[in-house]
Amino acid sequence: MQLGFVTAILPDYDLKQVFQAASEIGYDCVEVMCWPEGKDARRYAGITHISAEAFTESDVTAVSQLADEYGISISALGYYPNPLTPDPEEAGKYTEHIQKVISASRMLGINRMNTFIGRDWTKSVDDNWPRFLETWPDIIQFAEQQQVRVGIENCPMSFTKDEWPGGKNLACTPAIWKRMYADIPSEYFGLNYDPSHLVWMHMDYLAPIRDFADRIFHVHAKDVRVEQHRLDQVGILAHPLEYHTPKLPGLGQVEWGSFFSQLNEIGYQGPVCVEVEDRAYEDSTASCLAALRQCHTYLRNFIPVGR
C-alpha cells in the first residue's frame, strides 16, 4: 500500500508546492484534484492542481519531472461533480470533463481517476436509474478504451439543505453498488472506498472490503464522529451534519487497525489517501499542514514504508 493525501486540502498551493509538502512530511503519493479552472461554491471543490482541459505531452513531461524531483507518485486524478444533475447542459459539461480527466490519467500513465456517479437529489434511486443508464455506460466504455480504472467514491453527498433529501451521489450503499456493477459489469468500474460515510449511516464499514474486494481501486482515509447527544435531539431525518462531524483519522470512530487488517487480508496493494475535512484544522494553511503531519504519523503505524 501507498500512503498519500487528497490535494484539495491545499487549495492555495501549486502542484510543485503540493509535491514538496508531501515529500517533506513523508507521504508516498497524492490524489491530484483536476477541476475545471475557476471557482466552485462547494467546499473542497473547484481546485485545479492539474488542468485536464487541454492536456498535452509537454504537460505530461512537466508533471512527471516534478513527481520525480520530489519522489512522489500520483495515486489518481480526482474530479467530483454531479453528472446526473437535473440541468442537462450542466450535466453534459461534467461528463465531458470527466472524460478529459480520464484521458489525462492515461497520458500520465496513472490509469486511475476518481469521481461521483451523481444524482438528482429530489428523486428516488429507481427514478434516477434511467439517467444512470443513459450516462455511465458511455463513460465507462470510454475509460475501457483509455485503459483507465474509474473509482466511484461512496459519499452520499447528502449533508446540507441544497442536497436534501436524496444527496447528489447514487453510489452510497452496497445494495446500489451491486446494481451498478450488474448493469455495467466492466472491470474498469470500481470504488474509491471511504469508510467514514458508512459510519454515520450506521452501517458496517468492514464487510464491503470483503464483499467488493475486486472493485476497490483506491481508498480515502477520513474519520467521523457521530454526535449521539445531537442525534438524540434531531434524529436521523435531520440534515446529516447536524449529528455527525468529519474528523482526522484516529480522532473519530473508525477502527483503523481492523480496517487495515481487512485491506491486508484481501491483498489490497493500492493507495490510501488521507482526506482532510476536519474543520478544527482548516483555519490556515499551517493548520492544514499540521493535519497532514498528524495523519501521516498516525497512519504510518498501519502502512510501513516500502510495503
Q: What is the pLDDT of residues 55-77, one digit of tens each?
A: 999 999 999 999 999 999 999 99
Eight-class DSSP state of 34: B
- Give tens-digit pLDDT for 93-118: 999 999 999 999 999 999 999 999 99
- Give tens-digit pLDDT for 149-160: 999 999 999 988
In 127-267, DSSP assigns E strands to 149-153, 189-193, 216-221, 223-226, 244-247
State how far the Cα of 288 lies from the Cα of 290, in Å rounded to an integer: 5
Q: Is the pLDDT of residue 306 over 80?
A: no
Which residue in 79, 73, 45, 49 sits closest to 150, CA to CA?
Answer: 79
Q: Is the pLDDT of residue 121 over 80?
A: yes
Q: Is the pLDDT of residue 43 over 90?
A: no
pTM for this model (two decimals): 0.96
One-letter identity of residue 52: A
C-beta separation of 84 from 98 below 8 A: no
Report residue 304's pLDDT band, with 50, 70 and 90 as the boundaries.
Answer: confident
State how far the Cα of 194 lies from the Cα of 98, in Å rounded to an integer: 20
- Give tens-digit pLDDT for 163-186: 999 999 999 999 999 999 999 999
Report residue 39's pLDDT band, with 50, 70 and 90 as the boundaries.
Answer: confident
State how far the Cα of 45 lies from the Cα of 153, in Å rounded to an integer: 14
Question: What pLDDT was estimated at residue 78?
Answer: 98
State how far the Cα of 158 lies from the Cα of 168, in Å rounded to an integer: 7
Per-residue exposure over 86-107, b if at least 16 CB sit within 10 Å of its own CB, e if not = eeeeebeebbebbbbbbbbbbb
- Give tens-digit pLDDT for 222-280: 999 999 999 999 999 999 999 999 999 999 999 999 999 999 999 999 999 999 999 99
Average pLDDT, the chain: 96
Q: Is the pLDDT of residue 307 over 70?
A: no
Mean pLDDT within 36-60: 90
Q: Is the pLDDT of residue 208 over 90?
A: yes
- Give tens-digit pLDDT for 282-298: 899 999 999 999 999 99
